[in-house]
Amino acid sequence: MRDLEKLKSLKAYEVKEERKVKELDSDGVILEHKKTGARIFLLSNDDDNKVFCIGFRTPPADSTGVPHILEHSVLCGSRKFPVKDPFVELVKGSLNTFLNAMTYPDKTVYPVASCNEKDFQNLMDVYMDAVLNPNIYNEEKIFMQEGWHYELEAEDQPLNLNGVVYNEMKGVFSSPESVLDRYIQKLLYPDSCYTHESGGDPQYIPDLTYEDFLNFHSTYYHPSNSYIYLYGNMDMAEKLEWLDREYLSSYEKKEVNSKIVMQKAFDEPVEEEIFYSITEEEPEDHATYLSVNTVVGTDLEPKLYLAFQILEYTLIDAPGAPLKQALLDAGIGQDIMGGYESGILQPYFSVIAKNAEKDQKGEFLAVLKGTLRKLADQGLNRKSILAGINYYEFRYREADYGSAPKGLMYGLQSLDSWLYDGDPMMHLEYQETFDFLKKAVEEGYFESLITEYLLDNPFEAVIIVSPEKNMTAKKEEALAKKLADYKASLSGEELQRLIRETRELKEYQDMPSSKEELEKIPMLKRSDIRKEAEKLVWEETSADGIKIIRHKMFTSGIGYLKVLFGTDRVPTEDLPYVGLLKSVLGYVDTENYSYSELTSEIHLNSGGVNLSVTSYPNLVKPDDFTGVFAADIRVLYEKLDFGFSILSEIFMKSILDNEKRLGEILNETRSRGRMKIESAGHSAAVSRATSYFSPTSAFNEMTGGITYYHFLEDAAKNFDEKKGEIISKLKDVCRSCLPGITC
């Protein structure tokens, strides 16, 4: 194993276990720092995209959001790097491939990644100093800025609450899906840390004191409570020596009571109705969320961990999935969501009917339990389960996480067991579990899981989320009155103190870091950067007038096929139908397959098909761009022919006339579109704003932005009157985008 003898010779560390992780072609080593008890996990391999992460187990005792506020605050300057915003300054002189921090229900993590050795070392240094030696003890204004503070400009002005996390969580709590997620954990885990909101409930954030904030850091942000992860191609022994010399050796071992308490199972299901706010103009009908949420074992059971991901696909996610389809056919909700939520000690499985009626609760439970009982007794579709297994195995093998480095995702996945005193390699060594599940399909294993965990399991919460008109406005009014009453109770001296603190905080925020402080942030020099760029190697040919581009590179036996069609023949006013077409093709029947059979066929033989609409700007002529309708499929080399044939089936033989199916797709697409906008409103606003002066952004706005969402909203609400027109337009757009193809 790479450097194993060097690691064993390190006096500051004890090697606990080492073994080859064949699935990742990596050497895994578990160590402990002798002086502090800090936990270390290394994954050594040939990946130049190196990852470092330090995390802490941070169970919240209330919903004031102290873990979240600390996550923000420790990155506002430290002893060694006192600049007020190291994030911003680091980006100016870094080639990082990832730089962020995340708060979870029971942990807070600080990961960085870079392909440049000097850059990687710089990032490690800044982050280690940030978490262990933050400026929060010297400057209370950091807490006020990132957490919360009273804001008073003058005696005759109203008193307000402000703060980065406070405002962020007000936005989060405006989404009904977020409110539901919050209450699922609150209701399922009343006696554990999961009953609290680690991100912070705006109602309780102002209860957090500066003293409690500092106490949380001094308690949990200690090497004895840390989980340190290193991944990639580097001298691991050298990195560990540096960590000990610069940071860990300065601390003594400390007993930190951060153990996550196991919630005792319920004797019978619990039920609760909660509310979310809608405006006066929004309708109350078809606006309720019905949900059933059941606890499934623990995160330390690898078979359950994978099997319930596959059951999520089989029961809910796949087009035509039986549980989802049964609820839709019964007219319960316009979108069925949910699935398996892991990453906590006791995961849960949810089934959620969105845009339903409150009085459908009984029917919802009857259809849900009845369908599950039928599936458990009569058996799941074997082809569908095998498709789900193949789909997830392909994803695990491919390890394509988009812009996130795979080493980062491996580290986060290791915490799904490591944080609970399990083996960090438990979920990374997946092949044995997949092999078991493939055999277990024929032995009724998945049906037994449905019976044990989803039917005969009282550890369950039924939650109804109902709309309430102007609830947000009422809360704001109540808050304004509370603040006004508080202001009225203050003496003149106390008011002047708040005015002074408000002014001083603004001055602190406006004052730039000094030149001396800025110079302490480590920056890359030109000499640290390789002069040669990565070379893209391709060959270009054509056949029957169609341009073909081939890239020769190592892809672990996976072939990536991408087919692009120009959208220049589509009239501008019809561009929203191009966006809709990507949600329809592949999710409707074809001449040879039902849409559920089509999905099973795809996932049995490939890593999946993805349809998208995008645009490529002309870098020479800013006003020009190329809009495309794209299809991607990932297959093993020997199945490239299948890739072409299944795309041909989708493009040339899809049946667009099924009004019922089209209505279901429209409702689901509208539902997911709204969720996307609500979860990233800032991005949607930027897209909308730039569409007024950028042709590329205007195209993207019409095919996937707010304009597109308004189109979906109108089409779904008026589907009965417009369905003929919608079908006709989809066929027209199909013919325009895909010349020579009959839709």
Residue with tokens 């499934």: 296
For residue 298, the one-letter residue type is T
Q: Report pLDDT for 741.
A: 57
Helix (H) or strand (E) holding 120: helix 117-132
The mean pLDDT value for 376-381 works out to 96
Q: Is the dihedral of CA 385, 386, 390, 393 positive or negative?
A: positive
pLDDT of residue 321: 95
Q: What is the arithmetic mean of pLDDT over 105-129?
A: 96
Rounded Cα distance between 230 and 533, Å, is 26
CA distance 728 to 723: 9
CATH 3.30.830.10 in the chain is located at: 4-164+193-257+514-518, 270-467, 538-737
| Number of Cβ within a 10 Å radius of residue 377 | 10
| Token output for 683 | 């991005």
* Measured distance CA(388)–CA(412) in Å, rounded: 23
Q: What is the pLDDT of residue 1?
A: 52
* Cβ atoms 323, 372 nearer than 8 A: yes
Determine the 3-state secondary structure of 218 from DSSP: helix
**Res 739 pLDDT > 80:** no
At 126 the pLDDT is 95
Start-to-end CA distance of the chain, whole Å, equals 57
Pairing of strands 39-44, 226-232: parallel
What are phi and psi for residue 636, nearest 5 degrees? -65, 150
What's the confidence (pLDDT) of residue 152? 96
Which region among 97-106, 201-210, 476-485, 531-540 has the lowest average model confidence (pLDDT)?
531-540
pLDDT by residue (tens digit) across 583-634?
999 999 999 999 999 999 999 999 999 999 999 998 888 889 999 999 999 9
340 CA to centre of own chain:
14
CB–CB of 405/113 below 8 Å?
yes
239 pLDDT band, cuts 50/70/90, is very high
Say whether domain 270-467 belongs to CATH 3.50.50.60.
no
Q: What is the mean pLDDT of the chain?
A: 94
CB-facing half-sphere around the CA of 181: CA atoms within 13 A: 19
d(CA 77, CA 136): 8
At 740, the pLDDT band (50, 70, 90 cuts) reads: low
Q: Per-residue pLDDT averaged across 538-543, rounded?
A: 89
Query: Any idea how long the chain is?
Result: 743
Angle at Cα 30 formed by Cα 28 and Cα 33, nearest 5°?
145
In this structure, which topology does domain 4-164+193-257+514-518 adopt according to CATH?
Cytochrome Bc1 Complex; Chain A, domain 1 (3.30.830)
Question: How would residue 332 be classed by pLDDT, with cut points 50, 70 and 90?
Answer: very high
Residue 384 has pLDDT above 60, yes or no: yes
Task: Tell me, letter by letter, the H, E, C secondary structure of 333-364.
Answer: CCEEEEEEECCCCCCEEEEEEEEECHHHHHHH
- Per residue in 348-357, pLDDT tens? 999 999 999 9
* DSSP letter assigned to residue 134: B
Residue 317 one-letter amino acid: D
304, burial (CB in 10 Å: exposed 0-12, middle 13-18, buried 19+):
buried
pLDDT-derived band at 403, boundaries 50, 70, 90: confident
Question: Which tens digit of pLDDT belongs to each residue from 36-60?
Answer: 999 999 999 999 999 999 999 999 9
Q: What pLDDT sits at residue 254?
A: 96
Please give the pLDDT value at position 544.
Answer: 83
Q: Write down the pLDDT at residue 681.
A: 83
The pLDDT > 90 percentage for the chain reads: 85
The three-state secondary structure class of 26 is strand
Amino acid at 171: G
Residue 151: CB atoms within 10 A of its CB come to: 20
CA distances from 112 to 94, 177, 412, 491 (A): 11, 30, 12, 48
pLDDT at 742 exceeding the cut of 60: no
| Chain position carrying tokens 């202001």 | 487
Which class is 538-737 in CATH? alpha beta
Q: Quick one: pLDDT at residue 263? A: 97
Over range 226-247, report the average pLDDT: 97
Q: For 417, list phi and psi in degrees, rounded to 5.
A: -120, -40
Report pLDDT for 272. 96
- pLDDT above 70 covers a percentage of the chain that reads 99
Q: Inform me whether the pLDDT recorded for 743 exceeds 60.
A: no
Catalytic residues: 71, 146
Average pLDDT over residues 407-414: 97
Q: Buried b / exposed e across 29-41, counting CB within 10 Å, b at 16+?
A: bbbebebbbbbbb
Give 641's contacts (C-beta < 8 A, 6+ positions apart): none
Residues 6+ apart with CB under 8 A from 15: 4, 7, 8, 29, 30, 31
- pLDDT of res. 128: 97
**Cβ–Cβ under 8 Å, residues 125 and 523:** no
Secondary structure of residue 316 in the 3-state scheme: helix
Per-residue confidence (pLDDT) for residue 519, from 0 to 100: 87
Q: State the average pLDDT over residues 271-297.
A: 94
DSSP readout, 411-440? HHHHHHHHTTTS-TTTTT--HHHHHHHHHH
Lowest-confidence segment of 123-127, 502-506, 736-740 by average pLDDT: 736-740
CB 388 within 8 A of CB 603: yes
Rounded distance between C-alpha atoms, residue 593 and residue 588, angstroms = 9
Q: Residue 441: how many CA atoms within 13 Å on its side-chain side?
A: 19
Helix H or strand E encompassing 646: helix 640-653
Render pLDDT for 666-710 as a digit per residue (tens, 0 to 9). Answer: 999 999 998 888 878 888 999 999 999 999 999 999 999 999 999
Of 121, 188, 144, the closest CA to residue 347 belongs to 188
- 634 neighbors 418 (Cβ within 8 angstroms): no
Q: Which residues contact 687 (CB under 8 A, 6 or more apart)?
A: 697, 700, 701, 705, 706
